Structure 1
C-alpha cells in the first residue's frame, strides 16, 4: 500500500467517524456544507463545459436535497412544509440545470441555499453541546 493510498484511507475513515459521531444539528450542517460544495463544483464544471463532472455533482446535490426533504417533520415544526416547498423548487432547478446545462439554474439554487446554510449553522452553534458522560467508577476509582 502506498503512502498516498494510506493517507486517503485514513482521511476517509476520519470523515466517516466524524459523521457517525455528529449530533443531529451537526449532521444537518454537514449536509448543507456538502450540498453547497457540490453546487459550486457543478457551477465551475458547467462554466468549463465539463458536462459529465457537472452532472455528477448536480445529481449528488439532488440526492442531498431529497434527504433533507425526507428528514422534515411537519408534526414537530410548523415551518417544515414551507421548507419542503423550497427543497422541491431547488430539486427541480437542479434537474433543469443538468438537463439543459443551465448554469443560471445552478446559481439560483446556490443563492437560495446559502442563507439556509448560514441559518442552520447559526442554529447549530446555538445548541449546547451534549454533556460528556461521566467516567465509570469502580470503588471510587476512575475506570478509563
Structure 2
C-alpha cells in the first residue's frame, strides 16, 4: 500500500468514526455544510461552463435535500410540514437550475435559502450542546 493510499484509508476511517459517533444535531449540520459545498461547486462549474461537474454537484445537493426531507419527522414539530414544502421547492429549483445551467438560480437557492437554514440549524445544535433544549425537528 502506498503512503497516499494509507493516508486516504486513515482519513476514510476517521470520517466513518466521526459520522458513527456524531449526534443527530451534528449530522444535520454536516449535511447542510456538504449541501452548501455542493451548491458552491455546482455554481462555480456552471459559471465555468462545465456542465458535467455542475450536474454531478447539483444532483448530490438534490439527494441531500431529499434525505433531509424524508428524515424529517413532521409530527414532532409544528413547522415540519412547512419545512417539507420548502425542501420540495428547493429540489424543484435545483432541478431547474441544473437543466438550464443557470448559475444565478443556483446561487439564489444557496444564498437566500440554504445559508440561512444552515445557520439556524447550526445555532440550534450549539444551543442543544450548551444545555438548551434540543430542537424538536432533530
| TM beyond 0.5 | yes
Gaps of 5+ in 2: 132-138
Which residue matches 2:93? Answer: 93
Q: Distance in 1 between matches of 2:50 and 2:72?
A: 34
RMSD of aligned residue pairs (Cα, Å)? 1.3
- Which residue pairs with 1:75 in the alignment? 75
User: In the alignment, which residue of structure 2 is the partner of 1:14?
Assistant: 14
Name the residue aligned to 1:24: 24
Q: Give the aligned partner of residue 129 of structure 2.
A: 128
Paired residues in the alignment total: 130
The 1-side partners of 2:60 and 2:121 are apart by 20
Deviation (angstroms), 1:107: 0.8
Distance 1:128 1:122 in 2: 10
CA distance, structure 1, for counterparts of residue 47 and residue 41 of structure 2: 10
Greater share of helix: 2
| 1:128 shift after superposition | 2.9
- Paired residue secondary structure (2:74): coil
Structure 1, unaligned runs of 5 or more: 131-144
* Runs of 4+ residues over 6 Å off in structure 1: none
Please report the TM-score for the alignment, with normalisation by the length of structure 1. Answer: 0.86
Q: What's the CA shift string for 1:60-110, capped at 9, x where partnerless?
A: 000000000011112110001111111111100110111111112211210
- Distance in 2 separating the partners of 1:68 and 1:127: 19
Between the two structures, name the one with larger relative contact order (CA 8 Å, sep ≥ 6): 2
Q: CA 1:79 to 1:52, structure 2 compared with 1: closer, same or farther past 3 Å?
A: same
**Cα distance between partner residues in 1 of 2:8 and 2:119:** 29
